[in-house]
Chain A
Amino acid sequence: MSFPTTDHQTFVVLRDLIAKDHAVAPETLTPETPLKSLEIDSLSLIELIFTLEERFDVVADKVPDDLATLGSVADYIDGLIAARPVAIDDGAPAT
């Protein structure tokens, strides 16, 4: 299986993560959903990025301060995935 690198796949992972965390239906979340509406502030965004770093085996040096929607977070992670030096087989965290 190839590593999920499309916007859509990253977004789906993020969407399902958020849906579970906030006990909302995944269908209610779109790339346009503002982080603010989910009460994700600068502090919780750091944790969200941390979780996604683990999930996609990427490293974020700093969390950008212009992420405002779920889609922008997914795009940011996709950027990190594209910049990864070595591809791995699946999306599981490195052990």
Chain B
Amino acid sequence: MAARRVAVTGLGVVSPLGNDEADFFDSLQAGRSGVRRLDVPFSERLSTRIGAPVAFDATAYFSPPKLRMLDRVSQFALVAARQAVEGAGPGAFDDHLQRAGVFLGTGMGGGQTVDDGYRALYAEGATRLPPFSVLMAMNHAAAAWIGIEYGLGGPNLTYSTACSSSAVAIGEAWRRIRDGETDLMLAGGCEAPLNLGTLKAWEALKTLATEDADDPSASCKPFARDRSGMVLGEGAAVLVLEEWERAQRRGARIRGELIGYGLCTDSTHMTHPTVEGQARAMALALESAAIDARAIGYINAHGTGTVANDMTETRAIRQVFAAHADQIPVSSTKSMHGHLLGAAGAVELVATLLALERGILPPTINLRSPDPACDLDYISEGARKTSGVDVAMSNAFAFGGTNAVLVCRSGAAAGASQRPD
């Protein structure tokens, strides 16, 4: 069977920059930050008090009995999935649901439930835990709930490769459709790490950004000389991936085409990234897309704001793109939405697809004084209007060394309005 094309026909996002695609991208375009001092009861116990929280009233989406079965991470995922499914329009989820599945990524799953459970047991001396603790904490709860919600009988898998989890989930879902195993996938990721236990664990790794003395919202500074680390964020993004012909037949609004996926592993160090690994993942993604490196017109960088990543990623981009690297606008939207860990790849792919669709490249904010070792075009002056950017790359690299890169094409460039050749 010839390789099949994969359309993106639905987008859903719950993020520190807003809880639908319009709010999310408007914030990105405006260079608004979702980073802030966390307003949590335990803030005095944190040495790093900044984060990128989601403003979210779960009771607006779920009945009380349902809500009691959902960890915060699954709430995010279900709301993002609902948006994506609604956006996919009529006919998407009506039939052939045995060939439809869910692939999600999450780094830490239902961490709030785990945190609550430990507090009850160890701090409060509880003799028992709430009955849904297992169902809320398990890593694949979110994906399972989504599968149940829409009756999807195909594969339902949860990938956990830290910060590349959802890029892996989307890439693997793309492969399933491309290779003819499924026709329709809800793919994305979710993360809700802003609980005391998870925040303290991250603090201990010494990779979190120091709060900016003048403006807490400006604490994440990817590629800047004064960058001091990453800022944890929470949220979810889910995409509807659909076999191209099926999407065309039902007259779907095609938001873009997923055309390439590169996956490799450093296998050298638990936390330290390598130029070679990141470059290899980008090269593999270009190869699977069967495009020349010069076709890439925008890169949504992993750009965590850590010393190690940003320098490594810059050098990896130079290695892959050679002279063309200077022609590619690159931005780290993490400067605004923070690092969503297992949801990062999905949220950033949504940002990338919307950038192509709107012809506006989101900026890297807080980049006033570039690190000389980071010498690409990071769109530091603010969002950039563009014409003729049709193909873009989204990078996700992870603790553990799993590098995942996705390549997408705008709906317009993919010929969304006419039959493909």
Q: Does A44 contact B (CB under 8 A)?
A: yes
A22-B68 in contact (CB<8A): no
Give the residues from 26 to 79 in chain B that come closer than 8 angstroms, CB to CB, to chain A.
Answer: 63-65, 68-69
Q: Which residues of A contact B64 (CB under 8 A)?
A: 20-22
Residue from B63, B65, B69, B130 in contact with A50 in the complex, judged by beta carbons closer than 8 Å: B130
B65-A44 in contact (CB<8A): yes
Range, interface on chain B: under 10
B131-A47 in contact (CB<8A): yes
In Å, the complex CA distance between A39 and B66 comes to 11
Nearest residue (CB) in B for A47 is B131
Q: Does A23 contact B (CB under 8 A)?
A: yes
B63-A47 in contact (CB<8A): no
Q: Which residues of B contact A12 (CB under 8 A)?
A: none
A46-B131 in contact (CB<8A): yes
Question: In the assembled complex, how far is the CB of residue B14 from the closest CB belonging to chain A, in whole angstroms?
Answer: 24
Nearest residue (CB) in B for A45 is B131
Nearest residue (CB) in B for A39 is B65
A22-B63 in contact (CB<8A): yes
Give the residues from 165 to 206 in chain B that come closer than 8 angstroms, CB to CB, to chain A.
Answer: none
In Å, the complex CA distance between A23 and B62 comes to 12
Q: Which residues of B contact A21 (CB under 8 A)?
A: 63-65
In Å, the complex CA distance between A39 and B65 comes to 10
In Å, the complex CA distance between A20 and B68 comes to 14
Interface residues as binary, B202-241 with A (CB distance below 8 Å gives 1, 0 otherwise):
0000000000000000000000000000000000000000
Nearest residue (CB) in B for A95 is B124
Interface centre among B64, B69, B130, B131 (most CB of A within 10 A): B131
Question: In the assembled complex, how far is the CB of residue A10 from the closest CB belonging to chain B, in whole angstroms?
Answer: 20
Q: Which residues of B contact A23 (CB under 8 A)?
A: 63
Interface centre among A23, A39, A40, A50 (most CB of B within 10 A): A50
Give the residues from 21 to 55 in chain A that come closer than 8 angstroms, CB to CB, to chain B.
Answer: 21-23, 39-40, 43-44, 46-47, 50
Beyond known contacts A23-B63, A46-B131, A47-B65: 12 more, CB 8 A cutoff: A20-B64, A22-B64, A39-B65, A43-B69, A43-B132, A44-B65, A47-B68, A47-B69, A47-B130, A47-B131, A47-B132, A50-B130
Using a CB–CB cutoff of 8 Å, the interface residues on chain B facing chain A are: 63-65, 68-69, 130-132
Jot down 23 A-B pairs with beta carbons below 8 A, ordered by A. A20-B64, A21-B63, A21-B64, A21-B65, A22-B63, A22-B64, A22-B65, A23-B63, A39-B65, A40-B65, A43-B69, A43-B132, A44-B65, A44-B69, A46-B131, A47-B65, A47-B68, A47-B69, A47-B130, A47-B131, A47-B132, A50-B130, A50-B131
Using a CB–CB cutoff of 8 Å, the interface residues on chain A facing chain B are: 20-23, 39-40, 43-44, 46-47, 50
Closest 4 CB pairs of A and B: A46-B131, A21-B64, A50-B131, A47-B131
